[in-house]
Structure 1
Amino acid sequence: MTARDKIRKTEDLADLCESLHGRGRRIVFTNGCFDLLHVGHLRYLEAARELGDHLVVGVNSDASVQQIKGSLRPITVESERVEMVAALHCVDYVTLFATPDPLPLIKLLKPDVLVKGADWAIDRIVGASEVLSWGGEIARIPLVPESSTTRIIDRILKRFGEKGVISE
């Protein structure tokens, strides 16, 4: 199986999740931009996967990332971000979503566990009330200190900002 085999259209993923639920499988859902993939992303997704049988990840589209992070983001285009997330051993399925938040996707997939970083207060987690309403759980996973896309960008700018692009 290639990483691309794990990438599903939302409608197909909804049917798949319904089938998995019918077989008693526990579905874990999380979402994010996953712009410059780093160890914090990996450890977060590994911890999320431990909470159920299948980890489904929603990745924000380029337009959605721009709405959230500003016009300079994302650094990596959506097709590459989706494939990189799908390539991780702990991820079972990935889908792209274009809305500013994943609520429509959460309502469609009906995960058993909704996961966000511990930096999110439970009352700010989009979809939390919906997941709880159908008997699901909310999990908040600690972040890896010093690990973020913003820190990577800052480090690159400090090291190479005035020097321009390094020849490959």
Structure 2
Amino acid sequence: MRYEKIKTLSELKNIIKGLRAKNKRIVFTNGCFELLHAGHASYLQKARAMGDILVVGLNSDSSVRKIKGGPRPVTKEKDRAKVLSLLWCVDFITIFSSTTPFNLLKAVRPDVLVKGGDWKVKDIVGSDLVTSYGGKVKSLPYLKGYSTTGLIKKINLLTPRRCAVRTYAAGKKGNTL
């Protein structure tokens, strides 16, 4: 399976140039998207509804480690990008290595910059840039009850005994995962 929505920044810039020639409205968001959940899906659908094309800037593994610390990310960047690419509402994904998407925003120059509800519009990285050329900046409310950190905490509460699954590897009974 080819993941044609995943683009380098250079490829993305050329695509966006063509889309702008067709007067397409470009929406941009970014994030880690470690464990994709219903909150992410709802957020991305709402972001996509603000324009014609949704571009997702995906934090690389190294930038997630810098931002979140510890053993994060829990899933690798290529896997996160592949999962995002399977969503109808996501048109393009590009992976970036810095801790903020500022340089990516300078290159993409979206018509709309969107972040989740934990961000105040004035604090969204690149908001000054986007508004300087007439773009809009929006903060969308979270879907209550959904959080990647919350999911990770729930998973960590599982003990090996609780999540032990009997397997029959090589015909031998009693192995556990």
TM-score range for the pair, normalised by the shorter chain length: over 0.9
Gaps of 5+ in 2: 166-176
Partner Cα distance (2:106, 2:17) in 1: 12
1:37 is aligned to: 36
Structure 2 letter corresponding to 1:61: S
2:169 is aligned to: none
Greater RCO (Cα-Cα under 8 Å, separation 6 or more): 1
What's the secondary structure of 1:16's corresponding residue? helix
1:161 is aligned to: 159
Structure 2 letter corresponding to 1:161: T
Q: Deviations over 1:59-99 (max 9, x none)?
A: 00000000000021000000000110111110000110001
Inter-CA distance 3–165: structure 2 relative to 1 (3 Å threshold): farther
Task: Please give the residue correspondences for 1:105-144 in structure 2 after superposition, counting only pairs within 5 Å.
Answer: 105-144=104-143
Q: Deviations over 1:36-70 (max 9, x none)?
A: 01000000000000000000001000000000000
What's the secondary structure of 1:150's corresponding residue? helix
What's the secondary structure of 1:6's corresponding residue? coil
2:97 is aligned to: 98
Task: Please give the residue correspondences for 1:3-18 in structure 2 after superposition, counting only pairs within 5 Å.
Answer: 4-18=3-17
What's the secondary structure of 1:4's corresponding residue? coil
Q: CA deviation at 1:140?
A: 1.0
Partner Cα distance (2:120, 2:53) in 1: 24
Q: How many percent identity over aligned positions?
A: 43
**Superposition RMSD in Å:** 1.5
Structure 1 letter corresponding to 2:65: Q
Q: Deviations over 1:12-50 (max 9, x none)?
A: 101111221121100000000000010000000000000
| TM-score normalised to structure 2 length | 0.89
| TM-score normalised to structure 1 length | 0.94
Q: CA deviation at 1:161?
A: 3.0
Structure 2 letter corresponding to 1:13: L
Contact 1:3 1:83 in 2 (8 A): no
Partner Cα distance (1:3, 1:154) in 2: 33
Post-superposition, which runs of at least 4 consecutive aligned residues in structure 1 deviate over 4 A?
none
Inter-CA distance 166–17: structure 2 relative to 1 (3 Å threshold): farther
Gaps of 5+ in 1: none
Partner Cα distance (1:3, 1:44) in 2: 25
Partner Cα distance (1:148, 1:166) in 2: 25
- The answer to whether structure 1 residue 23 and structure 2 residue 12 are counterparts is no
